[in-house]
Amino acid sequence: MEKQDTAKWLCRYRLSKYREDIGAYRGKEAEFHEKFQPYEIIEGEGNCLLNSGINEMWDLIVGDSANHFNNAAAQIGVGDSSTAATPSQTDLQAATNKTYKGMESGYPTSTSQKAIFKASFGDAEANYAWNEWVVKQSTSAKCLNRKVDSLGTKSSGTWTLEVSITLS
């Protein structure tokens, strides 16, 4: 009998939509989330792990990259493209309607084989159809993953996207 090693990549996401603008709470986003309640929450799972993201992870592990996915350099990007996700893609597929936001204070986090990324898009940011998202390292511009899912059309308020990636 042949033994096989297996690994599992599980990505879950949560989009919380608020009527209020997070602008005045930058740097203290937890206070915003405690004070206001979302009017809608969308949760889902699955994504496409991108080849460039896989290579960047290995480069980080073996010390060939200093481009960490930390608070200063990790981003979540959203766009309006509905082009199907494939591993060979390197970023959002939107031609013009795409926006990248840095992490909220205290993110990303890492615990129990899981990394959690969280970014909030304020009142005047990313106001278009949200059909895709990525987790990106801003210095290298390499994206870990890409998800295509129609999450709605933002026109105002704050939308907060939280991405949880578990390896087991």
Q: Does some domain include residue 1? A: no
Domain count across the chain: 1
Q: Does some domain include residue 2? A: no
The span from the CA of 98 to the CA of 11, in Å, is 21
Helix (H, G, I), strand (E, B) or coil at 31: helix
Overall pTM surpassing 0.75 (yes/no): yes
The length of the chain, given as a count of residues: 168
- Residues of the domain holding 57: 9-167
Q: Does some domain include residue 14? A: yes
Q: Does some domain include residue 114? A: yes
The span from the CA of 46 to the CA of 31, in Å, is 29
**How confident is the prediction along the chain (168 residues), in pLDDT tens digits per residue?**
678 888 889 999 999 999 999 999 999 999 999 999 999 999 999 999 999 999 999 999 999 999 999 999 999 999 999 999 999 999 999 999 999 999 999 999 999 999 999 999 999 999 999 999 999 999 999 999 999 999 999 999 999 999 999 998
